[in-house]
Amino acid sequence: MNQNIPAPAPVVRLIQELNRLPGIGPKSAQRLAYYIIRLPSEDAQALADAVLDVKDRIIFCSVCQNLTEIDPCAICSGPRRDRSLICVVEEPLDVLVMERASFYRGLYHVLHGVISPMNGVGPEDLRIKELLPRLEDGSVKEVVIGVNPTLEGDATAMYIHRLISPLGVKVSNLARGLPVGGHLEYADEVTLSQAYQGRREL
């Protein structure tokens, strides 16, 4: 291919739009764009429809901030859920993962990210303040913070803890430690020390 001949304007535009998606670099964007160009019209239409449909019909649950078609969402309005427990997670995907494991019967609160100061993401850019009214009437006894155990996740957990601890609600963190199937020799220092602190009698 001759590098000097630019791609037609609509192709360039598609590449630019794809490039804006998370995890899609310029090369991947180019590959996806040329894949889409080769799609039959019906398939391209279906893709475009799916994108628009999701924007039309999916809203944020006014209680837990998860994505939903109805407000409040099925979990928030579920009759069998334990309303004294809220698990705080980063992404809607994390709710699916927890639900699939099916040991947890409480409610959720979705932050839609973690505090990431170097990327300009502060607490006000997340759905943190929406958690506070949920804790006001005293029915919630415990908030379990289930964000990812990264430095930014830990900072977010600590920020939330500081924010809600004056309300007298118990705040806990998911236990840290060695992943099942992992090997001691490959564990990093922080994981190892947290696993040690969280040791249990056999």
Q: Is 159 in the site for other proteins (CB under 8 A)?
A: yes
Any bridge partners for residue 160, and if so which? Answer: none
Q: Is 78 in the site for other proteins (CB under 8 A)?
A: no
Smaller CB separation from other proteins, 15 or 64: 15
Q: What single letter denotes the amino acid at residue 77? A: S
Stretch that binds other proteins, among 12-20, 59-67, 77-85, 184-192 (CB under 8 A): 184-192
What's 6's DSSP letter? P
Q: Is 25 in the site for other proteins (CB under 8 A)?
A: yes
By C-alpha distance, which of 174, 97, 103, 100 is closest to 143? Answer: 174
Long-range Cβ contact pairs of 21-25 (< 8 A, separation 24 or more): none
Stretch that binds other proteins, among 11-19, 47-55, 80-88, 115-123 (CB under 8 A): 115-123
Q: Is 174 in the site for other proteins (CB under 8 A)?
A: no
Smaller CB separation from Zn ion, 75 or 174: 75
The residue behind tokens 């709710």 is 95
